[in-house]
Amino acid sequence: MKQVLVVARHELSLFRGIALPVALYFVMPLAILAFVEGGFDVFLRLQDPRAGFSGADLAAPGQATMFGFMSLAVLGFLFLGDHAWGTWNRVRSLGVRPWQIMSGKLGIAYLNQLAIFAFVMVAAALLFNLTVRGPVVALVTVELAVAAVAIGYGLIACAVSNNQAQFNAFAYLGALVLAGLGGALTPFDTLPGWAQAVAPLTPTYWSVRAFETVILEGGGLGDVTLELAVLALFAATFLTIGTFLFDGNKQRTTWA
* Segment 161-182, tens digit of pLDDT: 888 888 888 888 888 888 888 8
252 vs 248: which has the higher pLDDT? 248
pLDDT grade for 242, boundaries at 50, 70 and 90: very high
What is the pLDDT, as a whole number, of residue 256? 47
**What stretch of H or E contains 167?**
helix 164-168
Cα–Cα distance list, 41 to 30, 35, 181 (Å)? 15, 11, 19
Q: Which stretches does DSSP call E strand in 64-222? A: none
In the predicted structure, residue 223 carries a pLDDT above the cut 80: yes
- The alpha-helical segments, DSSP class H, found in the chain are 2-17, 19-47, 56-70, 72-85, 87-93, 98-127, 136-160, 164-168, 174-182, 193-198, 203-215, 225-245
**Nearest residue to 113 (alpha-carbon basis) of 67, 156, 62, 57:** 67
What is the pLDDT, as a whole number, of residue 253? 60
Q: What is the mean pLDDT of the chain?
A: 88
What is the pLDDT, as a whole number, of residue 181? 85
Mean pLDDT of 125-146: 94
pTM over 0.85: yes
For residues 206 and 17, what is the distance between their CA atoms, to the nearest angstrom?
35
